Structure 1
Amino acid sequence: MSETYKTSDHYNGKTFLNPGQNDLKSFWQVLKWKMTNARVEWPKNVPIKNFPLRMLAPDEKVSATWINHSTFLLQFPGLNVLTDPVYSERTSPFTFAGPKRVKEPGIPLDILPKIDVVVISHNHYDHLDLETIKKLDAKFHPLFLVALGDERLLLKEGIQNVKAMDWWEEVRVKDLRFIFAPSQHWSARSLWDKNESLWGSFMMDSGATKVYFAGDTGYGKHFLDVKSRLGAPDLALLPIGAYKPQWFMRFHHMNPEDAVKAHIDLGSNRSIAMHYGTFQMADEGIDEPERDLKLAREQYKISEDKFGILEQGQGLSY
């Protein structure tokens, strides 16, 4: 990594880290998981419903449509945003191996409305999909907001409209503020670049409404920090999948109970689940996250209206 970033509690001059934490799994721990896993097989293909493309009405502050995995179309007045867009068949460096989608995207790429901004939380293949990014750049030439270090990937592909962000840095586009906030995760695209780029979440604040996109994260105190520094979101998009086995996944991926606790910590008015049901990234079954979310809501006395699920292609508006 040739770039030099400012040293901080999350950058030591060579690699990025989670402040006060070090839970990167070793090769032997990965091997243990692969040799002892109790993986529940997913179906090869699950049809999705066809929902009409939801467009923001003049009296609405924001519309959120779940496309797949961690990809949402967020429509604010005068500005359309995509989060972690993934349209490829596999979330992998290879076209012939790696997690393969079992559900088609809820909004086909060719019928997306004009995209103004794309936010990318980190560089894992199920969040930073270069083929999708190149297609979006060719069609819309949006502004790409990425974590420190990930600008190199995009610039190498000839994508010029890129802004790399550190934690708590802010970018304003029209009337919408994008604040890059912490998450608890890690980064790598290969065996040789571990934690050479940052990871994080985004708060999007229009003045009339706040939307929080958690990216990919384990449960930690950063949710309280986000609320303290940026205020409670009106809408939070929170991951609930890729959490089994817990001994291996928990630090970097929330289970549904963790996500409910994050919803509470954030003081979110309403939350939507994501990061499940499209690509099998861990050992749980395809329906387990939804079932476990229901149990967690009951445990913490959170109504389905306050923390619910959408089908791929389904949206809601405020």
Structure 2
Amino acid sequence: MGRFDHLATRPARGPADILRWKVLDPLTGKHGKPRRDAEPFVTPTRPWSRDLVLSGAPSLTWIGHASFLLSMGGTRALLDPVWRDAPGPLRRLVPPGIPLADLPSIDAVLLTHNHRDHFDTWTLERLGATPVYVAPLGHAALLRSVGATKIVELDWWQSATVGSLEITLVPARHWSMRAPWDRNDALWGGYLVRGPEGTAYHSGDTAFFDDFARIGERAGTIDWAMLPIGAYEPRWFMKPQHMNPDDAVEAYHLLGARNFVAMHWGTYQLTDEPPGEPPARTRALWAERKLPEASLWLLDVGETRALGR
């Protein structure tokens, strides 16, 4: 039994569920192979704003998937950094938004959980021992193994300060596993990051749950909410662990956030929906609800936005 089994999403998914998804359902015609758009989809990219990022001005850059470079108050933080391009599910559809060699100095690395599309040891080894590594309980040994020396482990609602940033781990509806024998031995979560220019929220991987309202209440104002819109089909398998666009827009509403920053789409083909579907569905929902167009940030990979209230 894992240390955090009592907090893990239910129902848990295991080998029998993967067999049903990947083999049995296609054989019985319940669903086919992963769906594709009628036309090939290429994730939008653009050159990163080098001068803005290197200046240390408040900004947010989408590296791809759940990886961001966030700068506030002159402190730079990477969230769930993954630069690796690996065979299989982690074969990238698009290169990282900033080349690893071009990264400016990093003060903090924030990790939401130990799944390999969020916690990449190859990347962390190359980031080195200089940053402060912030992670949920149970990650210290893995971080030490990749050379990290300044490590802060947090429980839900605990906080740490790095430079000008106050970093708070908040709940998420998910689970953890690095190997078959360590399921839920490490905690998972999202982050509230408060800086002089405002408050950012990164949900990590999560299913929809009512605690979004509590996170919003305790945060006060959330200026930028980074929420996942992809990796959601087949729904019977993914609903306990990943949101779809409908869930993400409802989570944004419960959080009371000013801006919605879409993530967790277009970088890997992890699940059955086509890569272009998540942003299309999100745009349609936004228009249907008549929400302010400027508050929807469907960034291109590499796109940098200046931050300010």
Q: What TM-score, normalized by structure 2, do the two folds share?
A: 0.90
Higher mean displacement: 153-162 or 166-175: 153-162
**Structure 1 unpaired stretches of 5+:** 1-12, 91-95
Render the CA deviation track for 1:221-264: whole Å, top value 9, x for unaligned: 12111112222311111110100111110121010111101111
Relative to structure 1, the CA distance from residue 26 to residue 226 in structure 2 (aligned partners, 3 Å threshold; closer, same or farther) is same
Where 1:98 maps in the other structure, the secondary structure is: helix
Question: CA–CA distance in 2 between the matches of 1:204 and 1:280?
Answer: 29
1:75 equivalenced with 2:71 (yes/no)? yes
1:148 positional shift: 0.9
Name the CA shift for 1:18/1:252 in 2 (closer, same or farther; >3 Å). farther
Q: Residues 197-216 of structure 1: matches in 2 within 5 Å? A: 197-216=186-205
Would the alpha carbon gap of residues 270 and 48 (structure 1) be closer, same or farther in structure 2, given more than 3 Å must change? closer
SS in 1 for 2:10: coil
SS in 2 for 1:55: helix
Closer, same or farther in 2 for the Cα pair 1:20/1:97, shift >3 Å? Answer: closer
In structure 2, distance between residues paired with 1:284 and 1:20: 25
Choose between structure 1 and 2: higher helix proportion.
2
Moved more, 185-194 or 294-303: 294-303
Note the C-alpha offset of 1:103: 0.2
CA distance in 1, matches of 2:138, 2:60: 28
Partner of 2:16: 28
20-29 vs 73-82, which moves further: 20-29
Cα deviation 1:74-108 (Å, max 9, x = unaligned): 11122001000000002xxxxx4333101001110
Residues 124 and 20 of structure 1: is their aligned pair in 2 closer, same or farther, counting only changes over 3 Å?
closer
In 2, Cα distance between equivalents of 1:214 and 1:99: 20
Tell whether the 8 Å contact from 2:134 to 2:153 is kept in structure 1 after alignment. yes
- Contact persistence 2:113–2:189 (CA under 8 A): yes
1:249 to 217, 221, 238: 238
Q: Which protein, 1 or 2, shows the higher relative CO under an 8 Å CA cutoff with sep ≥ 6?
A: 2
Provide the alpha-carbon RMSD of the alignment. 2.3
Aligned residue runs from structure 1 range 200-279, under 5 A: 200-279=189-268
Q: Distance in 2 between matches of 1:14 and 1:246?
A: 26
- TM-aligned CA distance change 1:14 to 1:253, over 3 Å: closer
User: Which residue matches 2:283?
Assistant: 294
Which letter maps to 1:48?
A: T
Secondary structure at 1:64 match in 2: strand
Counterpart-to-counterpart distance in 1, 2:275 and 2:128: 32
Task: Determine if the alignment matches structure 1 residue 40 to structure 2 residue 35.
Answer: yes
1:272 and 1:225 map into 2 onto residues whose CA distance is: 19
Please give the alpha-carbon distance, in whole angstroms, between the structure 1 residues aligned to 2:44 and 2:55: 33
Partner of residue 9, structure 1: none
Compute the TM-score of the two structures, normalised by the length of structure 1. Answer: 0.87
- Paired with 1:223 and 1:129, the residues of 2 have a C-alpha distance of 27
Secondary structure in 2 matching 1:105: coil
Partner of residue 105, structure 2? 114
| 2:50 alignment partner, one of 42, 50, 53 | 53
Alignment check: 8 A CA contact 1:44 1:102 kept? no
Unaligned runs of at least 5 residues, structure 2: 26-30
Cα pair distance change 1:304/1:18, threshold 3 Å: farther
* Conserved? CA contact 2:10–2:240, under 8 Å: no
Q: CA deviation at 1:14?
A: 4.2
- When structure 1 is superposed on structure 2, of 175-184 and 223-232 the one drifting more is 223-232
Residue 73 of structure 1: CA displacement?
Answer: 0.7
Change (3 A) 1:44 1:57: closer
Q: CA deviation at 1:54?
A: 5.1
Determine the structure 1 residue equivalent to 2:28.
Answer: none
Q: Between Structure 1 and Structure 2, how many residues are aligned?
A: 298
Q: Structure 1 residues 160 and 307 mapped into 2: Cα distance closer, same or farther (>3 Å)? A: same
**Superposition pairs of residues 280-291 of structure 1, within 5 angstroms:** 280-291=269-280
Judge conservation of contact 2:261–2:297 (CA < 8 Å) in 1: yes
Contact 1:54 1:315 in 2 (8 A): no
Q: Is contact 1:204-1:212 (8 Å) kept?
A: yes
One of 81, 88, 91 as aligned partner of 1:85 = 81
Instruction: Quote the Cα distance in structure 2 between the aligned partners of 1:46 and 1:270.
Output: 21
- Is the contact between residue 41 and residue 276 of structure 2 (CA under 8 Å) also seen in structure 1? no
